[in-house]
């Protein structure tokens, strides 16, 4: 079974396909379909944005679609990231964005943060809609570390493992991350179909 993942983010596509390896389910990305509509993330929550993408692309393609929206919430920077994480700091590359965060938190003892992921699954054939939200708690590290992962992973420190997300092997990240935990819920739904 092929499912459209409403993203052009190669890192997200890799995580989904890795999580479903051997299941008979594979994900394709926006680059694999003709003339995908541009869906603006105008929702106020991760769930809103995930569902906006999934509904628009299911209507466009007639395929089952997974929309996902995620972000980082840094408690010392309330309201600055969250659903706006991808647009934080004017769309600079993530290395620059992570440097800005590290500079902003310099000398701040409150480095608590969390990743949030919402997944929306829409199957136009059965009129099914499901939404899942999961989180992963961590802290902002004192520097960027690691080559794995993408986005904020080089500064998202996971205390239980003593490493940033970008230092963890993909098999570990795919057990503990916000997206991995939401994918577990998605698997339960797809296994029951």
Structural contact between residues 52 and 42, judged by C-beta atoms closer than 8 angstroms: yes
The C-alpha atoms of residue 53 and residue 119 are separated, in whole angstroms, by: 10
Structural contact between residues 156 and 141, judged by C-beta atoms closer than 8 angstroms: yes
The C-alpha atoms of residue 174 and residue 167 are separated, in whole angstroms, by: 13
Instruction: Report the SS3 class of residue 144.
Output: coil
The C-alpha atoms of residue 181 and residue 142 are separated, in whole angstroms, by: 26
* Catalytic residue of the set 32, 48, 69, 127: 69
Check if 32 is active-site.
Answer: no
The C-alpha atoms of residue 171 and residue 160 are separated, in whole angstroms, by: 16
Structural contact between residues 70 and 117, judged by C-beta atoms closer than 8 angstroms: yes
Q: Which residues are catalytic?
A: 69
């Amino acid at each position: 079974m092929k499912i459209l993942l409403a993203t052009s983010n190669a890192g997200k596509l890799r995580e989904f396909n890795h999580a479903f390896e051997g299941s008979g389910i594979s994900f394709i990305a926006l680059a694999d379909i003709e003339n995908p509509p541009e869906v603006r993330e105008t929702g106020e929550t991760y769930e809103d944005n995930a569902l906006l993408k999934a509904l628009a692309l299911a209507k466009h393609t007639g395929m089952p679609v997974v929309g996902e929206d995620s972000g980082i919430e840094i408690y010392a920077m309330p309201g600055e990231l969250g659903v706006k994480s991808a647009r934080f700091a004017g769309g600079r590359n993530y290395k620059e964005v992570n440097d800005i965060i590290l500079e902003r938190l310099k000398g701040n003892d409150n480095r608590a943060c969390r990743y949030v992921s919402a997944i929306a699954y829409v199957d136009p054939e059965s009129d099914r809609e499901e939404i899942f939200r999961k989180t992963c708690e961590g802290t902002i590290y004192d520097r960027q570390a690691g080559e794995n992962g993408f986005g904020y992973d080089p500064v998202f420190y996971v205390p239980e493992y003593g490493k940033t997300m970008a230092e963890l092997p993909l098999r570990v990240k795919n057990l503990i991350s916000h997206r991995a935990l939401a994918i577990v819920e998605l698997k339960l739904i797809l296994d029951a179909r």
